[in-house]
Amino acid sequence: MKNKAIFYFTPNQIIDIYKKKEFVDYKVLGIHIYNKIPICKILYQKDGNYEPKMIPVVDSIVQNIVILNYQLGQSVQTIHSKVQNTLKFINWLKDHNSKFLENKQVARDSLEQYIYFLKTEMRIGNIQIDNALTKQNLAISFLKNLHNDNENYIASSVRLISNSANKKSSTPKPNSEHFKYLYKFYRKLFEEICEFLINQKSYPYHFEILRKSYCFMPFEKRFPAIVNKEFQKKFQSYDFNNQKILSGKEIADLFGYSRIDGNNRRYQFKKSIESKNIDKSCNARLYLGTLGLKAFFILFLMTTGMNDSTASTLKWNKNYQINKTRQKFRNIKYRAGNKVVEFEIGTKFLKQFQQFILLREFVLNGNESEYLFFTGYGENTHLNSEQISGKLSGFINRYFQKNIDSDLPIINSRQLRVNKAFWVSKQYNEATSSLMIQSSLSVAIDNYSGETDESSAFQITNYYEKFNNKIFQNNQSYQTTNVGSCANSNNLKTINQNPEHYCSMQYGCLSCEYHRVNIDEIDIRKLLSAKFVIQETKSLSKNEEQFNNILLPYSNKIDEILNKMVDTDTKINNLIHDVKKDVFENENLFSYWQHKYNMLIRIGVL
């Protein structure tokens, strides 16, 4: 393509071309984002021969990297870097004569070879792990998009580069006083907004949060809808301290206006107040409602422990169910589209959640949104870039700190998850903590535990204990654990006084008289995962006798429990067989045991 001129298009131009379905001449296509990138070059071999079969590759780069990331609000530098690294990967594939375009199997084989190449580059010091992870993830994303691999077949069973070697220390638990301040501020603000809007109160509406005075005013854009005494400096028609509209003379005398100007300012302000008090669904009230939704979003993160990106993009269906799953917790469940969505909240938070639903309906003003949280009001609702990128909580915190309370501490969503996970793990255990923060247990332990490495190591080495005879006595009130359930979750503090049953440290369940097991796939996987880890750690024993004396009885007990399951229900035998095959052949362990197993591999024990 030596003599061909390349035509470069900006992201906006290429988006417009694709929308209008205009002809794209891939042979001379270039992208101008940050710098010019001649992506058409991958259509040509080194000898200059044209390869039309590579057109889907160019098209995938344009649609899935350039257009998608640009619409998500990523910086041009980031998009430029993603395109360049993807092109390097494609050139690597071509240099190694890969036939990655043929099918998913060949693509997976090519990915495996590329990751081996990256690992080699890491070992000899040519690239750092951060760079290798970026390249690996871009390669996976590219191949999955190219082959429409929604089942993740291409990356499955491939030994990927783990970020454990470069893992940062656990996110610190936020200062308790800061957390309390944050919670009290957002809870009180949310409650006052609900009181004002749902019960149709009148402007101006005064209230206090943490000994600070505030007032709702009928403003939408020019001024904040929630004002404090500092607002007096910016707006001159209302006496905030004495809670009254100033006279025209007072306005003129205080701020140096003529009497006519003073009277006009008073008239306009009073007229605005009166009109907004007549119209209980005016834009100013709807806008104030959006601030209430933002306040609740922070409370939602604090209470559920859900991560920002997941919570802010939750789909919603008003036909939801509230089910009792465990004591002191309620499960919110509904179907959105073709997917069942559910999350768990404490019973004390249920009333606030129901208030939020009422406020949400008010803000929508007769319209609908498919998302639980959204930006805007009425018929103009959407997801903003902060929601899509998982940065909504930071955006909300900064807004309220800047406009409402300068003393409001900034605590990011990861720290909120740490605080939730830390509290729940102390009250119950790590398994419950991981359920509450809606995270896999490995992520929960690695990043959200608020514990030391020594504490985690102590749990690893002291987990195995005995099973008991009352194994199948179970009901919904029992607390879930990593090997079944606990029948005495109401008296954890009493149990915790006995070092052998120290629930929060996760090693007491198997020897505890309150240990229970459900005859279902989840608990079967828990038991078989424990058995798998026991067998894999056999090499850690000093000799065969030590293993037989210490660990083998647990493995045998698991077999005994599984046999009892079959005796109770013969139909369960096929399920046990399938789960056992999945655990021992595919290494698809229950999350807790998967984490422990991976940790032993990571630290070089296995």
Structure tokens at 377: 């009001």
Q: Provide CB contacts within 8 A for 577, sequence distance 6+.
A: none
Per mean pLDDT, which range of 208-212, 295-299, 410-414 is the poorest? 410-414
Helices (runs of H) and strands (runs of E) counted in the chain: 24, 16
Cα gap 62→215, rounded to integer Å: 50
Q: Could you read off the pLDDT of 169-212 as tens digits, one per residue?
A: 445 555 667 778 888 899 999 999 999 999 999 988 999 998 88
Q: Is 115's pLDDT higher than 70? A: yes
SS3 161: coil
Q: Transcribe 329-358 into DSSP letters.
A: EEEEEEEETTEEEEEEEEGGGHHHHHHHHH
Looking at residue 162, the DSSP 8-state letter turns out to be: P
Letter for the amino acid at 154? I
Cα gap 425→446, rounded to integer Å: 13
Q: What are phi and psi of 447, to 5 degrees?
A: -115, -20
Q: Could you read off the pLDDT of 483-519 as tens digits, one per residue?
A: 566 666 555 433 333 434 445 444 346 556 676 788 8
> Mean pLDDT across the stretch 523-547?
77
**Cβ distance 428 to 150 under 8 Å?**
no
CB count in 10 Å sphere of residue 352: 18
Average pLDDT value over all residues in the chain: 76
Cα gap 351→348, rounded to integer Å: 7
pLDDT score at 215: 87
Q: E strand or H helix at 377, and its extent?
A: strand 375-377
Q: Is the bond preceding 204 in cis, omega lying within 30 degrees of 0?
A: yes
Q: What are phi and psi of 340, to 5 degrees?
A: -85, 125
Q: Shortest CA distance to 33 belongs to which of 8, 7, 58, 68?
A: 8
Angle at 392 between CA 387 and CA 394, to 5 degrees: 155
Split at pLDDT 50, 70, 90, the class of 458 is very low
Per mean pLDDT, which range of 441-450, 539-548, 572-581 is the poorest? 441-450
Cα gap 564→25, rounded to integer Å: 67
Q: How far is CA 241 from CA 177, 214, 400, 405, 474, in A?
A: 29, 10, 21, 17, 60
* Radius of gyration, alpha carbons of the chain: 30
Cα gap 253→255, rounded to integer Å: 6
Q: Provide CB contacts within 8 A for 275, sequence distance 6+.
A: 282
> Mean pLDDT across the stretch 334-362?
76
Most distant CA pair in the chain, distance: 100
> Mean pLDDT across the stretch 257-280?
90
Cα gap 163→128, rounded to integer Å: 11
Structure tokens at 279: 């119209």
Q: Provide CB contacts within 8 A for 536, sequence distance 6+.
A: 597, 600, 606
> Mean pLDDT across the stretch 147-156?
84
Split at pLDDT 50, 70, 90, the class of 21 is confident
Q: How far is CA 594 from CA 93, 250, 442, 445, 529, in A?
A: 33, 72, 8, 12, 8
**Cβ distance 288 to 225 under 8 Å?**
yes
pLDDT score at 243: 85
> Mean pLDDT across the stretch 284-299?
92
pLDDT score at 343: 63
Percent of the chain with pLDDT over 90: 17
pLDDT score at 46: 80
Cα gap 98→119, rounded to integer Å: 19
pLDDT score at 22: 85
SS3 289: helix
Give the long-range contacts of residues 76-82, CB within 8 A, separation 24 or more.
Answer: 76/11, 76/33, 76/34, 77/34, 79/11, 79/33, 79/34, 80/33, 80/34, 80/35, 80/37, 82/138
3-state helix, strand, coil in the chain (%, to 5): 55, 10, 30
**Cβ distance 353 to 293 under 8 Å?**
no
> Mean pLDDT across the stretch 359-375?
92
What SS3 string covers 164-219?
Answer: HHHCCCCCCCCCHHHHHHHHHHHHHHHHHHHHHHHCCCCCCEEEEECCEEEEECCC
pLDDT score at 330: 56
pLDDT score at 364: 95
CB count in 10 Å sphere of residue 284: 20
Q: What are phi and psi of 315, to 5 degrees?
A: -75, 160
Q: Is 560's pLDDT higher than 50? A: yes
Give the long-range contacts of residues 399-403, CB within 8 A, separation 24 or more.
Answer: 399/294, 400/185, 400/189, 400/294, 400/295, 403/224, 403/226
pLDDT score at 19: 84
Q: Provide CB contacts within 8 A for 221, sequence distance 6+.
A: 287
Strand partners of residue 329: 326, 346
Burial class of 338 by CB neighbour count within 10 A (0 to 12, 13 to 18, 19+) = exposed
Q: Is 471's pLDDT higher than 50? A: no
> Mean pLDDT across the stretch 348-376?
90
**Cβ distance 226 to 404 under 8 Å?**
yes
Split at pLDDT 50, 70, 90, the class of 319 is confident
pLDDT score at 195: 95
pLDDT score at 463: 32
Tell if the pTM clears 0.85, that is, is over it. Answer: no
pLDDT score at 417: 59
pLDDT score at 482: 60
pLDDT score at 175: 62
CB count in 10 Å sphere of residue 102: 12
